[in-house]
Amino acid sequence: MTEIILNTQTGKSNIHCGEGAFKEYARKLKGVKNFVVTDTNVFALYKDVIFSAFSGDAGIKILPAGERSKTYGNLISIIGEMARAGITRDCTVIAFGGGVIGDIAGLAACLYMRGLRLVQIPTTLLAQVDSSVGGKTAVDFKKVKNLIGAFYQPDEVIVDPIFLKTLPPREIRCGLGEIIKYGALDGGIYKKLSAAEDIFNLNFLGDITADCIRHKVGVVEKDERETTGLRKTLNLGHTTGHAFELYYKRKSHGEFVLIGMYYELFIAEKKGLVSGEYPSGLKKLIKSVVNVPPYKDIGEAAKLAKLDKKNSTDGKITLIAPVSEGECAEIRLGFEEYLSYLSDCAKSLEK
């Protein structure tokens, strides 16, 4: 088991990562007043585990599974349930689920009585390698993703690969999107991915998860609230990925991150920022997880990139693109130039 500590100005997170982490650390939560937030899918799989681990009198809120549950209305509903359950300042909120549950439960913990102890127990690969660590909490509002939110560090994060065994292939691909993103940011992770016989192997995924968490911890400790620009690098592939996700839908978030990374790598190549064998190696990794489509109607999808929070104040589209092993670059483009590059990339995929 790997122990990782995240220290920031606002708090400290103890991250327990590896096989047996849930059994070892969840039992320490028994005997105290807990409030569990989960979703219908996770509850169906782990109902007995939840009540056994956190005692039968734990308060619980079960949300419908999926991104559509990450709403202001559900946030207020969670807080209302906490009040009805008699939750007080000495209680613990447990986010037991994927990224949506971690985001909304984390924000509820932040707001209720000005802050309760928070424990994240991520059950998806994406949440384990990325969203459960770093303190970002939020809900969507007025059709804008993560419009209402706060930075609120969990006291503990329990990352156990045992939960990966119940994930469908789509969720594994989704998590690999973020893992390959970390590979583009970290030379050591890139080498492990490139050398792996099977990146879908659960033992491999459990091992590389700790590497991804260490990278993120190093970034967050230096730029918790995205004031220096360093944490922005964690959004590599996300500008185009988010735009495509909003417009084309159907695929998972992680798959769209990979597709966005492919298109933005193409832009970096055309800008002369990347060369040699690296682009072909990264493209091979991306295509081993997801088919990169030559999207049609790409102009309408590209318009959604104008809404990205990373964009510069002069309105230019801002990308974080991979350029070499462990290195990325910020690229700023006017909309027409950005659209032209996306169209050229789509045409190249038709060949």
Helix locations, the chain, DSSP H: 21-26, 40-54, 72-84, 99-111, 125-126, 169-185, 187-195, 202-222, 238-248, 253-270, 278-287, 298-303, 335-349
Residue range(s) in the chain whose domain bears CATH number 3.40.50.1970: 2-166
First-to-final CA distance of the chain? 47
Q: For 2-166, which CATH class?
A: alpha beta
pLDDT at 221: 97
Among residues 235, 255, 264, 269, the one annotated as catalytic is 235
What one-character DSSP code corresponds to residue 127?
Answer: I
Among residues 61, 215, 242, 251, the one annotated as catalytic is 242
The Cα 169–Cα 175 span in angstroms is 10
pLDDT at 313: 84
Q: What is the pLDDT of residues 178-202, one digit of tens each?
A: 999 999 999 999 999 999 999 999 9
Contact in structure between 56 and 124 (CB atoms under 8 Å): no
Q: Is 68 a catalytic residue?
A: no
pLDDT at 56: 65
Tokens 């300042």 belong to: 89
What one-character DSSP code corresponds to residue 129?
Answer: I
> Identity (one letter) of the amino acid at 337?
E
Which of these ranges, 29-38, 159-168, 173-182, 334-343, has the smallest mean pLDDT?
A: 29-38
The Cα 251–Cα 139 span in angstroms is 21
Which CB contacts under 8 angstroms, 24+ apart, belong to 85-88? 85/35, 85/59, 86/59, 87/33, 87/35, 87/59, 87/112, 87/113, 87/116, 88/33, 88/113
Q: Is 7 a catalytic residue?
A: no
Overall average pLDDT of the 35-59 stretch: 91
Q: What is the pLDDT of residues 233-244, one digit of tens each?
A: 999 999 999 999
Q: Is 253 a catalytic residue?
A: yes
Query: CB atoms < 10 A from the CB of 56, how many?
Result: 7
What are the Cα distances from residue 37, in Å, to 81, 105, 145?
Answer: 10, 6, 20
Decide if pLDDT at 174 tops 90: yes
CA dihedral 332, 335, 341, 342 (to 10 degrees): 110
Decide if pLDDT at 252 tops 70: yes
Decide if pLDDT at 3 tops 70: yes
Q: What is the pLDDT of residues 55-68, one digit of tens each?
A: 766 799 999 999 89
Instruction: Give the contacts of 273 (CB within 8 A, at least 6 positions apart).
Output: 321, 323, 329, 331
Tokens 């007025």 belong to: 142
Backbone angles phi, psi at 55, to 5 degrees: 75, 145
Among residues 16, 181, 216, 232, the one annotated as catalytic is 216
What are the Cα distances from residue 12, in Å, to 5, 47, 90, 152, 220?
Answer: 7, 30, 17, 10, 11
Residue range(s) in the chain whose domain bears CATH number 1.20.1090.10: 169-349
pLDDT at 239: 96
Q: Max alpha carbon distance in the chain (Å)?
A: 62
Question: What DSSP string describes 224-288?
Answer: TTSSSSSGGGGGTTHHHHHHHHHHH-SS-HHHHHHHHHHHHHHHHHHTT---TTHHHHHHHHHHT
Q: Is 114 a catalytic residue?
A: yes
Decide if pLDDT at 138 tops 80: yes
Among residues 16, 70, 136, 214, the one annotated as catalytic is 136
pLDDT at 27: 87
Decide if pLDDT at 310 tops 90: no
Decide if pLDDT at 37 tops 80: yes
Among residues 34, 74, 171, 178, the one annotated as catalytic is 178
Closest listed residue to residue 176, CA positions, set 202, 153, 156: 202
Among residues 181, 238, 251, 310, the one annotated as catalytic is 238
Tokens 């099977």 belong to: 198
Q: What percent of the chain has pLDDT over 90?
A: 87
More confident residue, 351 or 257: 257
Among residues 215, 231, 232, 310, the one annotated as catalytic is 231
Decide if pLDDT at 93 tops 70: yes
Q: Is 215 a catalytic residue?
A: no
Q: Is 226 a catalytic residue?
A: yes
Q: Is 224 a catalytic residue?
A: no
Among residues 19, 24, 221, 226, the one annotated as catalytic is 226
Backbone angles phi, psi at 240, to 5 degrees: -70, -40
Confidence of residue 31 (pLDDT cuts 50, 70, 90): confident
Q: Is 16 a catalytic residue?
A: no
Q: What percent of the chain has pLDDT over 70?
A: 99
Overall average pLDDT of the 74-99 stretch: 97
Q: For 169-349, which CATH class?
A: mainly alpha
